[in-house]
Amino acid sequence: MTTDVTKGVAAGADGSAAGQDNVLEASGVTLRFGGLTCLNSVELGMRRGEVLAVIGPNGAGKTSLFNSLTGVYKPQEGRISFRPKDGGEKQLLGSKPHLVNRLGLARTFQNIRLFSALTALENVKIAAETRQRVGPVSIMLGLPNARRAERESDERAHRLLKFVGLESKLNEIAGSLSYGDQRSLEIARALATDPQVLLLDEPAAGTNPTEKLELEQLIRRINAELGVSVLLIEHDMRLVMSVADRVMVLNFGKKIAEGTPSEVQQHPAVIEAYLGAEAAAEAEPVQAVIAEQRRPVDGDESTAAPAGDDAEGPGSEGGSDADGASGSDETPSDEGPSSDDTTPDGSASDDTTPDGSASDDTTPDGSASDEESGK
Ligand SMILES: Nc1ncnc2c1ncn2[C@@H]1O[C@H](COP(=O)(O)OP(=O)(O)OP(=O)(O)O)[C@@H](O)[C@H]1O
């Protein structure tokens, strides 16, 4: 059963998180892959202007929820609506990712998806240009409107790269940037599409402690200075507890709790989800142990946590382990150019089966590849 410990949540008559000040709402979202129910009647009510974190153990359904919100997956049941700031309500369920992006939702991926062979500036300019309406003929003929659009996207990309702290690396090849810089570049690229909601999928994964602190500040500035609502999946509990206004917790595809960071981290259902019932009875503070419960995923065991993580205390240490581990799969050289599967606006490609069923690319053990799971 979902335990909503949030004070003052505007709840709909049906118990959903419906509320007029919500920028994004999902109700009854159910997503199945064959016999696996990976999202089970999930409710989400994201208030305009907030930083909402989604946490939960591995396989809880966090990325699947992102994929459902952004059109990568099409849940079999439920409703997903977006309320733009200029009014109205748009249904997102079943929309194509690039259309969801155009409406005002942008995302980053757990596995970085940049155009690795292009410069930082080019990566962001391409995204900025998806907002422009200049035809190919105007561009080919170098007509004034095309030149103006080019100038504008250039200026916008410069501004955003400065905003994320990459102004000195404009002309560096994306694939050669440090891991943390690549994450910042992905964020700049997402911001270039001028979103009202930014979805960040494990932005701290693979970053070092200094980069984590910079990321924390960046998320705050995106929220406060740009007025962008942020939906954040993150395993680093220190980061979550420090930047999130509210936290929702998923386990086995179900929302089990929602509330302020301090409410959630004391919540028995959350502690139980991470530690099991025995520890929940002892009501241990979840942040101290939560990250250590990150089970290693395939091939991650060998990766050491970034140096210096120990200094952050037990919660952070566990988180860094996990993050460092996921980072091991995500080094720039492993990534390679990802232009094949990423649309310029930073939305995911459409190659996942639209009904939400696993495609032929599903790995033999039934788990999805990163590619199709939108990770
Ligand atoms: N395309 C797919 N085909 C089949 N199963 C899938 C697919 N996408 C996700 N799943 C399954 O759904 C479940 C939830 O996965 P998901 O990636 O959403 O979890 P998560 O909470 O993001 O995990 P993590 O923290 O490890 O990233 C898992 O069991 C996963 O194997």
Give the residue with greater pLDDT, 237 vs 111: 237
Question: 73: Cβ below 6 Å to ligand 1?
Answer: no
Would you say residue 362 has pLDDT above 70?
A: no
From 24, 31, 25, select the one nearest 73 (Cα to Cα).
Answer: 31
**pLDDT for 285:** 54
116 lies in some domain = yes
Strands (E), the chain: 3-4, 22-33, 36-47, 51-55, 77-82, 90-91, 105-107, 197-201, 229-233, 246-251, 254-259
Nearest CA to ligand 1 atom 12: 38
Q: Which residues contact 69 (CB under 8 A, 6 or more apart)?
A: 24, 26, 44, 80, 92, 100, 105, 199, 231
Q: Which residues contact 161 (CB under 8 A, 6 or more apart)?
A: 120, 121, 124, 167, 169, 170, 185, 188
pLDDT classification of 141: cutoffs 50, 70, 90: low
Burial group, residue 268, by CB count within 10 angstroms (0-12, 13-18, 19+): middle
Question: 40: Cβ below 6 Å to ligand 1?
Answer: no
> Comparing 27-31, 110-114, 169-173, 261-265, which segment has the lowest mean pLDDT?
110-114
Domain count, the chain: 1
Average pLDDT over residues 332-346: 37
Point out the ligand 1 atom lying closest to the alpha carbon of residue 297.
26
pLDDT in tens, 232-264: 999 999 999 999 999 999 999 999 999 999 899
- Number of residues written out for the chain: 375
99 lies in some domain = yes
From 171, 167, 170, 163, select the one nearest 198 (Cα to Cα).
Answer: 163
Pocket test for ligand 1, best of 40, 64, 199, 295 (most atoms within 8 A of CB): 64
pLDDT classification of 112: cutoffs 50, 70, 90: confident
Nearest CA to ligand 1 atom 24: 58
CATH of the domain at 111: 3.40.50.300
208 lies in some domain = yes
pTM, 2 dp: 0.73
* Interface ipTM above 0.95: yes
152 lies in some domain = yes
375 lies in some domain = no
Would you say residue 299 has pLDDT above 50?
A: no
pLDDT in tens, 37-50: 999 999 999 999 99
